[in-house]
Structure 1
């Protein structure tokens, strides 16, 4: 019991509700207890045994919230259902409950999802390099998905609108936490490329969001900010994580990772790189600096205390500086 609110722990309420739905709508009957699964960044994430050695992952809206914004579990469930018949690897959706607070369950995919330049434990460099190249080869599958297969109501963002989205985040961060961001934003705004034909965009495509078995991607996860937009936005973001020098004090250099040119060649299957990639690479760095600046501000204001955020200033400066360098 929560002494402050006299409410039972949420898992004690949510667990029976999930079990009842699974028993009614699937062949699952041996339902265990919810266990918090670390690493989720939106909503609540649990691992749930369902018998015969099987587990599912449950993503749920927090108590008292609705499935909107960063808690939009239904948005994630709908895109994975839509992608199930395609060649994009996603976890199989087992059940969806749209009654608020909403939740959905997917098959637990066994494997690793490690970001080589950022995450602990460290990964063998050769394995990291092979996975990163394979991720670049898989990415075109997302960008080839016919838009009429996607759930209705998806946000569509041209490059200028994508920049404006992250400029709003950056604008809420005190300038002293993101030195040089104003100049980087101005230079991005002054040179916005013409948009390519819009495609499905995951929004956070990187190895940390790809579960791999050995070297092969088994499932792309964390679809909370998917949209329709310029595929180069996705590429620019992906490339940020290919270089550990982007993250001083936070990450590490991993010897032997593919270069940006090698990753672009893997993406295009040896064809020419997409136009204006320096702009999109700079945009990816601007986006990451905005996210880190936002997190650092929340920590320093006491809204979400996390001493690890004090490791971010050098990385923020490096991201902004290297973004300016990309724009020449």
Structure 2
């Protein structure tokens, strides 16, 4: 495993990965760690060991293994779901010595958000994938949360989720979130009652599900998994069904399922979940808060990214349509 151009910390990580994979695959060459682009938390690499290929997730040097950087927590949920109806990559190895890391099987496939990513799959394929992963989300929510490894902190409920994201929204300057205060007030006036908690992915959408043709082969990016109200996951997933939610960012894809069709695929004949409109509005508020936060950081010079200047119309649309949904 070449260490040319690596920092001391990366070299140490490469050595640890090489030693562990050599134990798993005695007598075969272990390749170089190659950075995988697109990750927003922790360190992510690919590596080969003979014919086998793995993805390595590691805690960044000097950072604490908490939140999105707690890679062992990610490995725990993947191990708990191994062999379940929810397709996930297998965990091949893990190392608890800090900075911790784990290796998971490399899953071939593409994770493409039809209304946001270019180039996207053919419209018929995009439609089939969205309906497919609606049923995957159902199976995820049907997981037994008493399974060892799926223990989590206090379950997320509607009130807690609203409080958390209201703080994020309030950190965004008011001029970047017109109508945001009214939306927060209306959400706070009608917080739904609880339903039984389930396993939550936290960012469930096609961009986090690897697909081959029309089939989902692996749900990935488990950094913010938790246990809580299933409508939190569902309201977020439905947000990505319509390009009109993303002015200047989204693209029209003919034939994508409507939110009603996706809900039907998720429920699969079961009783409808109450207060879904509230959670649909909550999902839009969360997206507006995230985009407003990113735009603020750009304008303050904390993270220079001129592409963030495309966000204001979508932030406005998210807040407006959330208020419309609430009636």
Say yes or no: TM over 0.5: yes
CA contact (8 A) 2:292 2:315 kept: yes
State the TM-score, normalized to the length of structure 2. 0.94
The answer for the alignment partner of 2:31 in structure 1 is 32
Describe the superposition over 1:142-189 as per-residue Cα deviations: whole angstroms up to 9, x where unpaired.
111111114334341111101111112112111111111111111111
The answer for the alignment partner of 1:21 in structure 2 is 20
The answer for the alignment partner of 2:3 in structure 1 is none
For the pair 1:218 / 2:211, whether they are aligned, the reply is no
CA contact (8 A) 2:152 2:227 kept: no
**Equivalent in 126, 129, 150 of residue 127 of structure 2:** 129
The answer for the alignment partner of 2:311 in structure 1 is 312
The answer for the alignment partner of 1:65 in structure 2 is 63
The runs of 5 or more residues in structure 2 that have no matched partner are 1-5
Q: 1:10: Cα distance to partner?
A: 4.2
Q: 1:58: Cα distance to partner?
A: 0.7
The answer for the alignment partner of 1:8 in structure 2 is 7
The answer for the alignment partner of 1:94 in structure 2 is 92
SS at match of 1:30: coil
The answer for the alignment partner of 2:249 in structure 1 is 250
| Matches of 1:262 and 1:28, distance apart in 2 | 52
CA contact (8 A) 1:83 1:90 kept: yes
**Equivalent in 111, 114, 120 of residue 112 of structure 2:** 114
CA contact (8 A) 1:22 1:29 kept: no
Change (3 A) 1:206 1:28: farther
The answer for the alignment partner of 1:175 in structure 2 is 174
CA contact (8 A) 2:239 2:283 kept: yes
| Matches of 2:243 and 2:117, distance apart in 1 | 11
| Matches of 1:113 and 1:207, distance apart in 2 | 6
Q: Which moves more between the two structures, 19-28 or 138-147? A: 19-28
- Alignment RMSD: 1.6
The runs of 5 or more residues in structure 1 that have no matched partner are 1-6
Change (3 A) 1:155 1:94: farther
The answer for the alignment partner of 2:279 in structure 1 is 280
Q: Which moves more between the two structures, 120-129 or 206-215? A: 120-129
SS at match of 1:147: coil
For the pair 1:300 / 2:299, whether they are aligned, the reply is yes
State the TM-score, normalized to the length of structure 1. 0.94
| Matches of 2:204 and 2:7, distance apart in 1 | 37
The answer for the alignment partner of 1:203 in structure 2 is 202
Q: How many pairs are equivalent?
A: 322
| Matches of 1:42 and 1:324, distance apart in 2 | 32
For the pair 1:79 / 2:74, whether they are aligned, the reply is no
CA contact (8 A) 2:25 2:49 kept: no
